[in-house]
Amino acid sequence: MSHELTLRVYYEDTDLAGIVYYANYLKFIERARSEWVRALGIDQQAMHRDSGHVFAVRRVEADYLRPARFDDVLRVVTDLAQASPARLIVDQQVRRDDQLLFAARVTIACVDRQGRPVRLPSILRTAIDG
């Protein structure tokens, strides 16, 4: 189950040399994960309002391989690597054409209003299992 988000690098994403500032890759992959969850049919605002559950990044392992530059068109690819009752692990790549620029493995936990781990919503389990 793969999801792709296309985005353009804006001037605000870059440093003085016109290269994407390293922390902005985390923003790019966050946007892509949000769109992936939306594509699975999950309304995160409703989930938070109704049950108090939210997704929280627990761990990120990242490799910066090549620079992205101002005005590049990038594809952020998100793939589910592993799912447990309360956690998802996703692999994400930022690509320019066929070049891999950035790769990350992100562990996401589902937590309640007090920040305690809880089971993933059944609608999400159904979406990723089916």
Q: Is residue 15 annotated as a catalytic residue, yes or no? A: yes
Identify whether the C-beta of residue 95 lies closer than 8 Å to the C-beta of residue 101.
Answer: yes
Instruction: Give the residue among 24, 5, 3, 2 at the shortest CA–CA distance from 13.
Output: 24
Q: Which residue is catalytic, options 15, 63, 71, 112?
A: 15
Packed helices 24-39 and 44-51: angle between N→C axes, nearest 10 degrees = 80
CA-based torsion, 108, 22, 5, 43: positive or negative: positive
CA dist 8 and 119 (Å) reads: 35
Catalytic positions, written as ranges: 15
